[in-house]
Amino acid sequence: MNGAIHISWKSSVPGREAKGLEVFGAALERFEGLLKQGRIQSHEEYFAVTGSEGGFMLVRGDLDELVRISVEPETLALNAKAAAIVQDFTVQVYGGGTDQAVQELMGSYVTSLQEIGYY
């Protein structure tokens, strides 16, 4: 099943901007390496140009592989560093991206509701 990791952040913690650039560079290096290894399909980075400061990274690939990547020590260490230098750092893993994946996820959801008598 297709999936995505959505990594988002707001503005830098004052005084930690330089470290922010360092950690962001390390994250790019990590995900570019995973792309070259064939473990992910893509990674894209976006920065706010309107509204509040911040941005997000979207990493696409096989859901099972993304879950494995999200709990690897290198990823956990990068996440800890990022959380220390930016505000509102979040990481969320999603499944979907194709009609088949959405149907599978929604089918699982409906079945779960049926099992407990809510559908």
CATH of the domain at 33: 3.30.70.100
Number of structural domains found in the chain: 1
Residue 2 confidence class, pLDDT cut points 50, 70, 90: very high
Does position 52 have pLDDT exceeding 90, yes or no? Answer: no
Residue 13, judged by CB atoms within 10 A of its CB (0-12, 13-18, 19+), counts as middle
Who's near 4: CB < 8 A, 6+ residues apart? 58, 59, 60, 61, 66, 93, 94, 96, 97
Tokens of 89: 């750092």
Q: For residue 66, give its domain range.
A: 2-115
3-state secondary structure of 46: strand
Q: Does the pTM exceed 0.85?
A: yes
Q: pLDDT per residue over 56-87, tens digit each?
A: 999 999 999 999 999 999 999 999 999 999 99
1 pLDDT band, cuts 50/70/90, is: very high
Q: Is the pLDDT of residue 119 over 80?
A: no
Residue with tokens 């309107």: 50
